[in-house]
Structures are given as C-alpha cells and as structure tokens.
Chain A
Amino acid sequence: MSNLLELEDITKDYHTKLGEVKAIKNINLNIKKGEIISIVGPSGCGKSTLLSIISGLDNDYKGKVKKNKDLKIAYMLQSDALLPWLTIYDNAILGLKIKKNLTEEAQKYVDYLFDFYKLSEFKESYPKNLSGGMKQRVALIRTLSLKPDLLLLDEPFSALDQQSRLLISDDVYKIVKSEHKTVILITHNIEEAISFSDRVVVLSKRPSIIKNIVNIDFKNQESIYERRKDTNYHKYFDLIWKDLDINEC
C-alpha cells in the first residue's frame, strides 16, 4: 500500500433519542506517508467524528478504513488533557506508562523533548502552575513520546491565545517535518490550515461531504511564518473561503 491511510466511502449516522444525525457521508480520502493534511469545515459538521473513526475509537460506521495493522496513532485534543494530580513529567510519560512501554530509551527521548521545548525546569511542577501554551507543549511531548506514525490533531491549539497558538503550531510543524510524521489536523482557522499543511480538505455542512481539496504548494517550507509570507497565501485563502459553508450548520 503506497498510502499510509485510505478512507473508502466513510459514512456515519448517530442515533439519538431526538432522531438521526447524519454526520458524514461517503468520505473518500487517501493519505500518503509524511503528508500533512488539514480538515476545515463548519463546526458540528463531523470533523471530530472522522478522526474518531480513523483512530479506531469509533467502530460503528459504514465504509472502510484501510491502514497497516501496527500503524501507531496518537491523538492530541482541544484540551491539553493533563491530569492535575500528576507532575508535568508524570503527565508526559503517561502514554508510555499506559502502554507499558517506559523503556530507558523512551525516557531519554522524553528528556530530550523536555530540553527541546525548554520545559526541563518544570518537570516537578504541576499543571496548574503552567501557562496554556506550556501545558499544550507537555501534551505534545506526551504525544510524541509514543513515536507515532500518524498524528491526529483535533483543534489542539484552539484554546490558546494567538501568540501561543502560532508558537506551538510552529513547534509542531517543525518536529513533524523533521521526523517525517503524517498528520491530520482539524482546525476552523483557515490561515492555520494553509500555513501548516500540504493539503486542505474542505468539508461541507452536515451531512458532510468533501467539497474541495486544495493542494498547498509553497517555495519556502521552513516554518509556518515563512509559509505565511508566500505570495500565493491569499490565493489559497480565497479558494478555501469560497467553499466553506459559513453560518449554515
């Protein structure tokens, strides 16, 4: 399989007491190894649902998710989901502990990431003493410590202020690029989608179908800041904006 992940005709309906919610409909998408994909779409259109299906958390859907059996997937969510009663370090190694995979090598890698993100001096602190951006970095370390092949990012920066948001999304961008990870990022920020990814998938309002897929091609890919300076940046913005169902969902 040349693709890391293939989605075939994914359809998902939720059944609730109030009735049926048709979330997504016939989604077809192939994702190559090392690709960064963003998904944008009106809120409530089924983006998180799609990630849950890809991750395997949700098995109740129609269609096919084709992926390698031992593909390592990690999730990053809107909330940093740090446990307030654990130290920063214990939070960072939580995934390794749950997976019973806390080897010396893994610990070394975690230490390296702490150094890299300049958080080493906070290892013994508790979440409440860190800023939102720092906490999201700890969540990032927790995610990366598992050495995942595929990163599922569900609006991970949306609770942060603009500055932290740019800084940490650049952090993620760089590490993902340098380690050739495959990423699916959900965001409702078009600029973030453009500056972060190789392809932007635009979903319609419910029941969601793929309205458009915009290929992003920048000359200088070094950082999200460089990408934002590209002359084509606004062209992409308009393309995506045109297809986005706003205030309709």
Chain B
Amino acid sequence: MSAEQKKFLKDIKIKKVKVIIAQILLLSIFLLLWEFLVNKGIISAFIYSSPSRIIKTIIELIKNHNFFIHIYVTLKEVFISFVLGISLGFIIALILFEFKFLAKVLDPFLTMLNSLPKVALGPLIIIICGANIKSVILMALLINLIVNIITIYNGFTGVDEYILKLFKSLGASKWQILTKLVIPSSYQTIITSFKLCISLTLIGVIMGEFLVSKEGIGYLIVYGKQVFNLNYVMTGIILLSIISYILYRLIIILENKLLKHL
C-alpha cells in the first residue's frame, strides 16, 4: 500500500473517530447540564427528574425485581408484533400482488384504515381482547400492518421491466417469476419496511400498554404519572430511547449483511 493510500485510509478513520467523540461529548454535556440545572433548582426536579435520580430509580427498580420484567415484557410485545406485522404484511402484499383486482378493490379501504387514528380504536380493542397482552399486540398490529402491506406491495410492483421481460422471454413460470425475481428484488423495500415497522411497532406497543397493561415500559410511565413519581416517567422515556436506538441499529446491521451486494 502506498503512503498516500495509507494516509487516505487514516484520514477516514480520524474523521469517524471525531464524529464519535463529538457525539459522546454532546450527550455528556446534555446530561451534565440537565443534572446541573436540576441541582441548582433552575428547572424542576419533580417534573424533569435528573440523570442521577434516573439511575437511582433504575437501581430501585432492579432491587424490586421488576425492572427487567418491564423491559422483557415490552421487548416481547415488540418482537411478537413486529414479526406478526412483517409476516402478515408480506403475505397480504403477496395476495394483493397476485390478485390485482382485489388490490384495486381494497385500495381505498386500505388508505382509509391507514389514515385512521388507531388510538380511537382503543376502547373497542379492550372490549374485544380484554386487558391483556393481546390488546397490546392488536394495537401495535393495527398501527404497523397497513404500512407494511403498502410498502412491501410497492416493492413487489417495482420490478425492473427489462428483467421481467427477460424472465418472460425465458419462459419462466409465474412461480419462478415470483420466487426468483419479484421477492428477491423486493429485499431493499422489505428492509425499508422493517425500519418503518420497528418504530411503528414501538409506538403501538407503548400505546397498547398505556391502555391496558400491568407490566412493561408503557405501564411504568403511566404508573409514574398516577403516583406522581415522574422519575418513573423519565426512566421510561430514557429506556425507550435506548431500546428504539438498539433495535434500529440491529436492523441496519441486518441490512448491511443482507444487501451488501446490491
């Protein structure tokens, strides 16, 4: 490797490290400022809590054995809703793709459902499913499914016309076109729908937990509000930020793995 090339690669690394340092710095300043402002009484400790109070809350929650349960419950609900949302979205998109007539017929209804504020369905969901995990998952599904269907369906219909013509000229069967062309060319869109889906699922799960649950991070937040311990609320919010960041990163890692040749 030439000296110039080495320098070039080194420069790239330095830039990357600089960004990370700046990010850590920004976060630290934010946390320190928060702690400082609360300690000096400039902003209310009761409402805004503080980093040290959040850490204390977490330790207390761990001692009471329910900290990990809350995280576990929320993650479980997110996982189930995500997997269900993606699989159902994929299957329904596939059905619509194969039956274009059905797709045309259902189009306005899907649009309607998509723009309906799902919270409005909350009371109905509770009555149908009862106050349990089913309600939470149903709420999350209502929020993520339509978007999944629409995104994946658009992926299916966006197949390169030249490649489609090639397949047809090779005498490919419908099944071959579907499995060797349509589905693989939608990898990119499917990953995009993963990204949309993960944030929508989190919204849905937390909304569901607000409505019905006895456990989970959403519950922690609602409980904090009820007992006027806003430390719980802040802890919940911080936990959610961390979880959504980690889940999103996981999808990015998956994306880089699956799509590295595209």
Contacts and interface: CB of A to CB of B under 8 A. Distances in A.
Interface of A: 55, 57, 73-75, 77-79, 81, 83-85, 94-95, 98-99, 126, 128, 146
Nearest to B171: A99
Interface string B181-204: 100110100000000000000000
Given A85-B187, A85-B262, A95 B162 contact: no
A146 B170 CA distance: 9
* Chain A at the B interface: SS class: loop
B166 A77 contact: yes
B118 interface: no
A126 B259 CA distance: 12
Interface of B: 160, 162-163, 165-172, 176, 180-181, 184-185, 187, 261-262
Contacts of A55: 169
Contacts, number: 47
B262 A84 contact: yes
A83 B185 CA distance: 8
A71 B123 CA distance: 66
A128 B162 contact: no
Contact of A75 (B166, B184, B185): B166
23 contacts: A57-B169, A73-B169, A74-B169, A75-B165, A75-B169, A77-B162, A77-B166, A78-B162, A81-B162, A83-B181, A85-B184, A85-B187, A85-B261, A85-B262, A94-B170, A94-B180, A98-B167, A98-B170, A98-B172, A98-B176, A99-B170, A128-B262, A146-B170
Contacts of A77: 162, 165-166
A74 B171 CA distance: 10
A79 B172 contact: no
Select the residue from B165, B176, B262 with max chain A CB neighbours within 10 A. Answer: B165
A83 B262 CA distance: 9
A77 B163 CA distance: 9
A221 B172 CA distance: 37
A84 B170 contact: no
B160 A95 contact: no
A83 B169 contact: no
Nearest to A77: B162
Residue among B163, B166, B180 facing the most chain A CB atoms (10 A cut-off): B166
Given A81-B163, A83-B184, A128 B261 contact: yes
Contacts of B185: 83, 85
A78 B168 CA distance: 16
B48 to A, nearest CB: 49
Contacts of B166: 75, 77, 81
Contacts of B171: 98-99
A67 to B, nearest CB: 15
Contact of A79 (B160, B176, B184, B262): B160
A99 B184 CA distance: 19
A74 B165 CA distance: 11
Contacts of B165: 57, 75, 77, 81
Nearest to B164: A81
Nearest to B262: A84
Among A74, A77, A85, the most chain B Cβ lie within 10 Å of the Cβ of A85
Contacts of B176: 98
Contacts of A94: 170, 180
Contacts of A128: 261-262
B180 A98 contact: yes
B43 to A, nearest CB: 52
Contacts of A78: 162
Interface centre among A73, A95, A128 (most CB of B within 10 A): A95
A57 B168 contact: yes
Contacts of B262: 84-85, 128
A57 B262 CA distance: 29
A84 B172 contact: no
Contacts of A81: 160, 162-163, 165-166
Contacts of B181: 83
Contacts of A126: 261
A95 B168 CA distance: 11
A207 B172 CA distance: 32
Contacts of B163: 79, 81, 83
A224 to B, nearest CB: 25
A237 B187 CA distance: 47
A64 B167 CA distance: 24
Nearest to A96: B170
A81 B163 CA distance: 5
A138 to B, nearest CB: 13
Nearest to A139: B166
B75 to A, nearest CB: 31
